[in-house]
């Protein structure tokens, strides 16, 4: 009896697959329908960024600046270019629509239970100038993304042309925040300026930070945060803008940062006592710091105004190369009737737009 023919699955980067009679020696990352160059199609994941590089990128992106190209690494597959070209020539079958020439788009309209945004700082190589940003904004809008986090006023007219909002307006620096009285004057002035800009342009949120401990006890820092935030939250209420204090891990990426546990941040929000005072719950950071993601979100959702995503470990793609179950997390968020944004904030190791489109589909539950 003849042996049944074995088939292999070739997995594409945003969820499309095809069956083939021979095992492919590589993984295909499709970046356009034409697939003009092997280097555009076949890449290996880069090793995770170091904590030091991550901190450097954070400092830049929180100020609303683009990250320069070259901070990430992409390696070409060696020795299989000929084979890769052959597979391309076959015209691989796949599910769904072909990618747009300028980047992938969603196969179908998104379900819309999760309103998704993206952090521009993760795509410095694609946002170096106005022309590049125009293509980037067009590409993310085609994916069904609603806005871009942490951009400055210079980018907003172009974003508006593509129907995108600035979903989180930048303000102060991470290290010097509301936890020290001597920082209050500067933090309040920066917050008021960003609140004015957000209100003028119709944006919903402004970011803020606790600051680092620098020897200060957590309870004293919380008391100082409450005192400082109470001096500006009335203005945010008047302008209908939500202040979001970001939760960051102090274990790997932001050593000594005070708002590094959900309970601490919830306590600050509760004492400020305003519906316009919320937390930016960064799923990556809180998995690194404390875990227990879904139950913590359920218990704290009243005080959460925004989410960020990334894979653990490495802060890269949110697919099966990392430990978090993002479909389960997104389902939990959707069941809580959360109406804010979930921002994709990972550093892509493969084709950036393909990885982003894949993440959008993963979170579209």
Does some domain include residue 27? no
pLDDT tens-digit profile of 149-184?
Answer: 999 999 999 999 999 999 999 998 999 999 999 999
Q: Does position 103 have pLDDT exceeding 90, yes or no? A: no
Q: What pLDDT is recorded for position 167?
A: 98
Report if residue 24 sits inside a domain.
no
> Does residue 101 form part of some domain?
no
In a domain, 144, yes or no: yes
List, for residues 307-321, the tens digit of each pLDDT value.
Answer: 999 999 999 999 999
Residue 285 confidence (pLDDT): 98
Alpha helices by DSSP H, listed for the chain, are 38-41, 51-62, 81-89, 130-142, 156-161, 184-201, 218-239, 262-272, 283-289, 293-300, 326-335, 352-363
Q: What is the mean pLDDT of residues 26-32?
A: 35
Domain count, the chain: 1
Average pLDDT, the chain: 80
Cα–Cα distance list, 294 to 123, 259, 310 (Å) = 28, 19, 15
Residues 195-232: tens digit of each pLDDT:
999 999 999 999 999 999 999 999 999 999 999 999 99
45 belongs to a structural domain: no
In a domain, residue 67? The reply is: no
Structural domain for 298, as ranges: 115-363
Q: Please report the pLDDT score of residue 108 as a whole number.
A: 74
Residue 28, in any domain of the structure: no
Tokens 């980067």 locate to 13
What is the per-residue pLDDT for 107?
55
Look up the pTM and report it.
Answer: 0.74
Per-residue pLDDT of 199-209, as tens digits, reads 999 999 999 99
For residue 313, say if its preceding peptide bond is cis, omega within 30 degrees of 0: yes
The verdict on residue 287 lying in a domain is: yes
**Overall size of the chain counted in residues:** 365
Burial class (CB in 10 A: 0-12, 13-18, 19+), 195: buried
Instruction: State yes or no: pLDDT of 65 exceeds 90.
Output: no
pLDDT attached to residue 272: 98
- Report the pLDDT averaged over residues 240-268: 98
Cα–Cα distance measured from residue 203 to residue 156, given in angstroms and rounded to the nearest whole number: 10
Least confident of 70-84, 109-123, 322-336: 70-84
Supply the CATH number for residue 312's domain.
Answer: 3.20.20.150
What is the Cα 124 distance to its own chain's centre? 13
pLDDT at 21: 34
pLDDT category of residue 105 using cuts at 50, 70 and 90: low
């Amino acid at each position: 009896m003849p042996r049944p023919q074995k088939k292999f699955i070739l997995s594409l980067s945003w969820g499309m697959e095809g069956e083939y009679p021979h095992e492919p020696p590589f993984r295909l990352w499709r970046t356009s329908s034409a697939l003009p160059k092997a280097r555009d199609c076949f890449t290996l994941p880069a090793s995770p960024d170091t904590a030091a590089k991550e901190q450097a990128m954070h400092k830049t992106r929180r100020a609303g600046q683009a990250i320069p190209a070259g901070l990430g690494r992409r390696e070409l597959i060696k020795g299989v270019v000929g084979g890769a070209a052959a597979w391309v020539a076959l015209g691989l079958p796949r599910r769904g629509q072909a990618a747009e020439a300028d980047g992938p788009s969603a196969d179908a309209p998104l379900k819309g239970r999760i309103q998704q945004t993206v952090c521009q700082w993760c795509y410095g190589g694609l946002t170096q100038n106005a022309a590049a940003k125009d293509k980037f904004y067009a590409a993310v809008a085609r994916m069904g993304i609603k806005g871009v986090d942490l951009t400055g006023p210079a980018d907003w007219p172009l974003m508006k042309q593509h129907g995108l909002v600035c979903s989180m307006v930048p303000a102060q620096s991470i290290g010097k925040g509301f936890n020290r009285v001597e920082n209050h004057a500067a933090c309040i002035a920066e917050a008021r300026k960003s609140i004015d800009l957000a209100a003028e342009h119709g944006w919903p949120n402004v970011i803020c930070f606790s600051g680092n401990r620098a020897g200060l006890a957590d309870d004293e820092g919380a008391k100082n945060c409450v005192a400082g935030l109470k001096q500006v939250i009335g203005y945010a209420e008047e302008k209908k803008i939500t202040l979001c204090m970001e939760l960051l891990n102090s274990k790997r990426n932001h050593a000594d940062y005070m708002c590094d546990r959900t309970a601490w941040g919830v306590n600050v929000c509760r004492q400020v006592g305003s519906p316009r005072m919320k937390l930016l719950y960064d799923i990556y950071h809180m998995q690194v710091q404390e875990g227990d993601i879904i139950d913590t979100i359920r218990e704290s959702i009243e005080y959460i105004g925004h989410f960020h995503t990334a894979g653990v470990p490495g802060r890269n793609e949110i697919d099966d190369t990392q430990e978090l179950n993002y479909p389960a997390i997104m389902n939990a968020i959707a069941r809580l009737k959360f109406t804010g944004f979930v921002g994709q904030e990972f550093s892509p190791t493969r084709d950036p737009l393909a990885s982003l489109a894949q993440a959008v589909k993963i979170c579209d539950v």
